[in-house]
Amino acid sequence: MLKIQTTPILESYLNEQTVQNFADQLQGELIRAGDANYDETRAVWNGMIDRYPALIARCASVEDAVTAVNFARENNLRVAVRGGGHNVAGLAVAADGGLVIDLSQLNNVVVDADARTARAQGGATIGDLDAATQAYGLATPMGVVSATGIAGLTLGGGFGWLRNKYGLSCDNLIGAQVVTADGRIVTANEYENSDLLWGLRGGGGNFGIVTEFEYQLHPVGPEVAFTFILHDASGDNLKRAIQFYRDYSSQAPDEISTIMASGIVPPEPELFPEPIHNKPFVLFGAMFAGDAAAGQRIMKPLVDFGEPLVDFSGIMPYIEAQKAFDADYPDGLRYYWKSLNLSRLDDEVIDRFVKHARRQPSVFSTVDLWHVGGAVKRGRDSESAFHGRQAAFLLSPEANWEHPEDDEANLTWLREFIADMEEFSDGSRYLNFPGFLEEGDEMMRAAFGDKYHRLQALKDQYDPTNFFSLNQNIKPSH
Ligand SMILES: Cc1cc2nc3c(=O)[nH]c(=O)nc-3n(C[C@H](O)[C@H](O)[C@H](O)COP(=O)(O)OP(=O)(O)OC[C@H]3O[C@@H](n4cnc5c(N)ncnc54)[C@H](O)[C@@H]3O)c2cc1C
């Protein structure tokens, strides 16, 4: 007998034959606790997460996802859905004793260059999507690390290098295929189940398993002007840099999407020259979605500011720029991120930022600011569940560290940082940088603002039993 833990109060016992029947129905592999590849398959990007699901269904088809949903429902198993496995809170595997429905093998992308659309399966990564679309000189806004899953990213919003010109990832979602909690395959687009499409644009994995995402594409690259420069941030430089970043990004044309990060140069010779190791830095990152030569000219102030420690800027393939941060986020490091939508970034806010940023316990950590402007701000707010366009800047401190004995120092730093910045925010957050979701229901309500009730009504309609609960969870009304 295989003991399956579902919830603390509900346990069921599945005999081997039941599990074997399930395995036989799947076209993909069913991995059980104890199998040779169990540990590598249950591992997610964040090394803090160490969960032991009873079963992992590696779907090889949409039908497999339906089979897995039906099996879990009939056997009262707690379900986690895995796209790219990059959720910071580890939601792709969060069920000890439950079933992981793993889509990572479903990563095919089909581009219709004439219609400028792409259909990507639910387990595709940003890298998969970019490679397919760039073959036609096209792209859709995605995040800035190529191994991230398109699924979690899009369902939570999706901030990246094209956002001010073309909006968030979720703004470019024009259709989806969804497996619902009762095992149906449902289409959502402008004409069919448009309410569901609205919910998928920022409402998380609450309504079902998205087996296919359809995106609007735009002409991008293949070469783009890209700024990626680290300036010295010792002394007053950090404050000056944040002031400069605020003013520059707020006036920049929509073609430019920017990120600023403060940190300490990690002593990693393969990434950074030794003389700058352990120096405080401020990173200015920016992409120009338009003519590359013009972009370089317009972004030059970001390069000319201050004392450069190292400069990776230039005209380069879009695909290369999309990977600029990849090496900074290896699998298995310990990670704890949170965020806050800042309503303003005046000197009072900046001073508080600097105070906490200077205390980061780990050299691998950074404190990031994302300008919220352009097409994100002007985006048709009513057409998406995403809530956060009202922010001036998105603040995201990231605690990134190596050893378990440093857990407490890093968690404490981050929690104190966020708590002390709350007064500069309306209380809403970006749900894709979620900590461990420890704040619960109250945070979810604040995160969705006045959209929460519509989302709850949608949850009642598509998942009244909260079968899909291991996500940025919206609880059914009863
Ligand atoms: C290194 C790194 C860089 C990042 N960079 C950015 C960035 O530039 N911009 C940005 O906006 N965000 C960024 N993020 C945050 C990222 O958007 C979230 O972590 C997101 O959840 C990752 O999606 P995933 O599919 O990889 O995650 P997973 O862990 O697989 O899933 C995340 C959540 O979505 C659900 N889910 C997954 N697949 C599906 C599906 N097919 N259907 C329904 N539900 C599903 C899961 O159940 C889970 O709740 C980054 C994260 C990391 C770790």
In a domain, 211, yes or no: yes
Task: Identify whether residues 323 and 404 lie together within a single domain.
Answer: yes
HEC assignment per residue over 160-211: CCCHHHHCCCHHHEEEEEEECCCCCEEEEECCCCHHHHHHHCCCHHHCCEEE
In a domain, 299, yes or no: yes
| Ligand 1 centroid from CA 275, angstroms | 35
Task: Identify whether residues 247 and 203 lie together within a single domain.
Answer: no
144 ligand 1 Cβ < 6 A: yes
Task: Identify whether residues 115 and 93 lie together within a single domain.
Answer: no
pLDDT > 70? residue 434: yes
How high is the pLDDT of residue 13? 67
388 ligand 1 Cβ < 6 A: no
In a domain, 132, yes or no: yes
In a domain, 477, yes or no: no
Phi, psi at 209, each rounded to 5°: -95, 120
Q: What sign does the CA torsion over 180, 183, 188, 192 have?
A: negative
Task: Identify whether residues 157 and 300 lie together within a single domain.
Answer: no
Q: What confidence category does residue 91 fall into, taking pLDDT thresholds of 50, 70 and 90?
A: very high
pLDDT > 50? residue 88: yes
How high is the pLDDT of residue 1? 42
What span, in angstroms and rounded, lies between the C-alpha atoms of 367 and 309? 18
- What token pair was written down for 73? 């429902």
- What token pair was written down for 252? 């920049």
How high is the pLDDT of residue 7? 42
| Ligand 1 centroid from CA 249, angstroms | 26
Per-residue pLDDT of 324-334, as tens digits, reads 999 999 999 99
| Ligand 1 centroid from CA 149, angstroms | 5
The residue-averaged pLDDT of 346-362 equals 98
Per-residue pLDDT of 362-408, as tens digits, reads 999 999 999 999 999 987 889 999 999 999 999 999 999 999 999 99
458 ligand 1 Cβ < 6 A: no
pLDDT > 90? residue 308: yes
Task: Identify whether residues 391 and 327 lie together within a single domain.
Answer: yes
pLDDT > 50? residue 449: yes
Find residue 188's DSSP bridge partners: 176
Q: What confidence category does residue 12 fall into, taking pLDDT thresholds of 50, 70 and 90?
A: low
In a domain, 240, yes or no: yes
Phi, psi at 397, each rounded to 5°: -75, 135
Output the domain CATH number for residue 80.
3.30.43.10
| Ligand 1 centroid from CA 91, angstroms | 9
127 ligand 1 Cβ < 6 A: no
Q: Are 84 and 154 in contact (CB under 8 A)?
A: no
Mutate to test the pocket of ligand 1, among 153, 336, 394, 429 (most ligand atoms within 8 A of CB): 153
Task: Identify whether residues 347 and 325 lie together within a single domain.
Answer: yes
| Domain boundary residue, one of 59, 78, 102 | 102
Task: Identify whether residues 309 and 386 lie together within a single domain.
Answer: yes
Task: Identify whether residues 228 and 214 lie together within a single domain.
Answer: no
Output the domain CATH number for residue 361.
3.40.462.20
Q: How many domains, the chain? A: 3
Strands of 217-333, DSSP E: 218-219, 223-232, 256-264, 280-288, 308-311, 314-317
Q: What confidence category does residue 435 fall into, taking pLDDT thresholds of 50, 70 and 90?
A: confident
pLDDT > 70? residue 8: no
| Domain boundary residue, one of 48, 78, 102 | 102
Output the domain CATH number for residue 196.
3.30.465.10
Per-residue pLDDT of 20-68, as tens digits, reads 999 999 999 999 988 999 999 999 999 999 999 999 999 999 999 999 9
The residue-averaged pLDDT of 235-246 equals 97
435 ligand 1 Cβ < 6 A: no
Residue 184 domain boundaries: 109-219
pTM over 0.85: yes
Of 90-94, 95-99, 215-219, 434-438, where does mean pLDDT reach its minimum?
434-438
Task: Identify whether residues 322 and 239 lie together within a single domain.
Answer: yes
Question: Measuring from atom 51 of ligand 1, which residue has the nearest CA?
Answer: 86
Cis peptide before 317 (omega within 30 of 0): no
In a domain, 457, yes or no: no
Which residues have CB under 8 Å from 269's CB, separation 6+? 277
Mutate to test the pocket of ligand 1, among 119, 148, 341, 394 (most ligand atoms within 8 A of CB): 148
In a domain, 28, yes or no: yes
199 ligand 1 Cβ < 6 A: no
Task: Identify whether residues 283 and 381 lie together within a single domain.
Answer: yes
How high is the pLDDT of residue 11? 41
Q: Are strands 340-342 and 223-232 parallel, antiparallel or unpaired?
A: unpaired
The residue-averaged pLDDT of 178-204 equals 98
| Ligand 1 centroid from CA 64, angstroms | 21
pLDDT > 60? residue 5: no
| Domain boundary residue, one of 379, 395, 424 | 424
In a domain, 453, yes or no: no
| Ligand 1 centroid from CA 83, angstroms | 7
pLDDT > 70? residue 349: yes
The residue-averaged pLDDT of 299-311 equals 95
More confident site: 443 or 368:
368
Task: Identify whether residues 16 and 28 lie together within a single domain.
Answer: yes
The residue-averaged pLDDT of 166-181 equals 98
155 ligand 1 Cβ < 6 A: yes
Nearest atom (ligand 1) to Cα of 90: 29
Task: Identify whether residues 129 and 250 lie together within a single domain.
Answer: no
86 ligand 1 Cβ < 6 A: yes
- Estimate to the nearest angstrom the gap between the alpha carbon of 193 and the chain centroid: 25
Q: Are 364 and 402 in contact (CB under 8 A)?
A: yes
